[in-house]
Amino acid sequence: MKVELMQVGAPQSLEMDRDGLQAVRAYLKQTYPDLKTRTSGIVTFVSFAGSEFIFENEWDEPYLLAATAEGDDLLRGVQNRFS
């Protein structure tokens, strides 16, 4: 299972494989009951804990991209959970 945090310019990107995606999705739903999603085209906007993220599953390489520094911190916590 792959769950890795990558630096993409200023924001952090949590990249994962299919198994990692299932595990991260379950963890986020359990940990953040305020989690909401909204789809626009091929992009899904995800929000939880007061932060917004962009989710894409491009070529079976899913990732969650933080929109803020607070989101970066949340993604770091998720990655630490799976490391």
Edge to edge, the sheet with strand 43-48 lists 3-7, 12-16, 61-66, 51-58, 43-48, 36-40
- The structural domains of the chain, with segments of one domain joined by +, span 3-82
Domain 3-82 indexed as CATH 3.40.462: no
Averaged pLDDT, 14-19: 92
Q: Across all residues in the chain, what is the average pLDDT?
A: 91
Higher pLDDT, 45 or 6: 45
Angle at 21 between CA 16 and CA 22, to 5 degrees: 150
pTM above 0.85, yes or no: yes
